Amino acid sequence: MAHPKRKISKQRRDKRRTHYKAIPPTVATCSNCGASVQYHRVCPECGYYKGKLAIEKEVTA
């Protein structure tokens, strides 16, 4: 296995990592309740996914 002969400085290491850019997740609206939902996820408000009930949500009164 390769072994470095010299320590790589923090500056050189950070220069190598500059191309990475964090992007926010894509958000859509729920077709059932209209809440904001991340793509390919069950709606946290109503529990629907692709127009079908995926998980039962308890009603708090």
- pLDDT tens across 5-26, in order? 999 999 999 998 888 788 899 9
The identity of residue 21, as a single letter, is K
Q: Is 54 within a domain?
A: yes
Q: Is 4 within a domain?
A: no
Q: Is 47 within a domain?
A: yes
Q: Any idea which of 7-16, 24-33, 51-60 has the lowest mean pLDDT?
A: 51-60
The residue range of the domain holding 47 is 25-61
42-51 per-residue burial string, b: 16 or more CB within 10 A, e: under 16: bbeebbbbee
The answer, yes or no, to whether residue 61 has pLDDT greater than 80, is no
Total of domains in the chain: 1
Q: Is 58 within a domain?
A: yes
The backbone region for 45, taken as left when phi is positive above 0, alpha when psi lies in -120 to 50, beta otherwise, is alpha
Looking at the DSSP bridge assignments, the partners of residue 36 are 29
